[in-house]
Structure 1
Amino acid sequence: MSDTNKDIIMAEAPEGISGAGFFATSLEKVIGLARKHSLWPLPFATSCCGIEYMATMGSHYDISRFGSERPSFSPRQADILMVMGTIAKKMGPVVKQVYEQMAEPRWVIAVGACASSGGIFDTYSVLQGIDRVVPVDVYVPGCPPRPEQILDGLMRVQELAESESLRRRDSPEYQALLASYNIK
């Protein structure tokens, strides 16, 4: 063996079966990888957080690196509902209807303090968090959150999408990942 080959460290193959010229893995892992890199967000923006989302879509932050370059404005074609901004109580049923129109698997991101908890608007007319009408998978804090935080929230949903079982959210791996984010 020559001296140049001594320093080469072979990386371990990912979980699966490999051999001469082939690699096999489970169908769930392949589908999880495909889901992870092809999420289509549905932006439901009502306030300042929508402006930050526009910056996230721009070339400087480039959300397309994560496979989410195509925002969907039809719930039937979207994977992620991104609620950004203040949601009035009268809009709660609309958010719920949009969520119910989305096909499985679907995820929800509450972007900003207003969508997460009502923000500074502790009044009778403002919904104090969208988790009162739809289940939320990831909360992105901030008023408004920076584009980097929105991208971090998207990456957390990517991890959820990759680890989610084909049998939906019943898998122990998915539940453990939710528990690590303190999500119920």
Structure 2
Amino acid sequence: MFKILRERIRQGHRTYPYPVQAPVLPERFRGRPRIDPKRCPPGCRGCEDLCPYGALQVRDGQPRIDLGLCLFCGECAAACPAGAVTFTRDHRLAVRHREDLLSGADEPRLAQALDARMKKLFGRSLKLRQVSAGGCNACEADLNVLSTLVFDLGRFGIQFVASPRHADGILVTGPVTENMKSALLDTYAAVPEPKLVIASGACAIGGGPFRGSPEVHNGIGDLLPVDLYIPGCPPHPWTALDGLLRLLGRLTQKS
């Protein structure tokens, strides 16, 4: 017992002081992409041709990245001879509307809070049932990390629960395989009204690398009404936590 207490004192306080202090992410982390159209060579479409998932498109000489399809592989940035496409370490990616995932030269549109009624219901206590709809377990693993003492999701009143009947909404990962479609819809139906739906990861938003396969439904957008999109492959735990707190009105647009 004394050894345990001594070791706990040695380790000290391990929970990160977020959101008072912004998280520090490693150099290799790929966050929000930054595009400088002024540096794009005329007629160049090399980055668009290289993107294996159609996330990057050039329209009227202006490149745009669909963060809902992007796997953050970084190939577009590596292929651009002028350095017009770069990846920052900005972890803030979550949005409320699918169209807001289109990233270009303009200012990013971050997730806005729920309306007053919904925020009153869920702002201080939010219970979520996580549904893995055919995911590779990467998104699920990073969501599990949120419950560790470093992130301590529970201190914000947010918890994952075992039953949809105890939940305020569902958080979905995976491209929704045909075998998981009915289970997903049954889980959604079991959550009492009013309820929230969160799509976490490129697969849940647009199908990810499985997009177009006859065995998947390219995410949940055509199956359920989505209240929050958290892009990434997988989304970093800070990205997911940032999106959840913005949804609940705990963070301002500029923070």
Q: Which residue of 165, 172, 186 corresponds with 1:76?
A: 165
> What is the aligned-residue identity percentage?
35
1:99-118 CA distance string (max 9 Å, x none): 11110121011000001100
1:156 Cα shift? 3.1
CA RMSD of aligned residues (A): 2.4
1:132 equivalent to 2:234? Answer no
Q: Which residue of 2 aligns with 1:53?
A: 143
Q: Which residue of 2 aligns with 1:37?
A: 124
Partner SS for 1:86: coil
Q: Is the 8 A contact 2:165 2:191 kept in 1?
A: yes
Q: Is the 8 A contact 1:138 1:156 kept in 2?
A: no
Q: What is the TM-score normalised by the length of structure 1?
A: 0.65
1:126-166 CA distance string (max 9 Å, x none): 1201122111110000000000111122123313xx9xxxx
1:95 Cα shift? 0.8
**Structure 1 unmatched ranges of 5 or more:** 1-27, 163-179
Q: Which residue of 2 aligns with 1:155?
A: 245
**Structure 2 unmatched ranges of 5 or more:** 1-114
Partner SS for 1:108: strand
Distance 1:31 1:126 in 2: 31
Q: Which residue of 107, 114, 117 corresponds with 2:203?
A: 114
Partner SS for 2:232: coil
Q: What is the TM-score normalised by the length of structure 2?
A: 0.48
1:23-64 CA distance string (max 9 Å, x none): xxxxx9698445211100111134210000011111111111
Distance 2:236 2:229 in 1: 13
Partner SS for 1:57: coil
Distance 2:120 2:223 in 1: 30
Q: Is the 8 A contact 1:48 1:144 kept in 2?
A: yes
How many residue pairs were aligned? 133
Instruction: Report the AA paired with residue 125 of structure 2.
Output: S
Q: Which residue of 2 aligns with 1:18?
A: none
Distance 2:116 2:224 in 1: 28
Change (3 A) 1:93 1:57: same
Return the structure number with greater helix share.
1
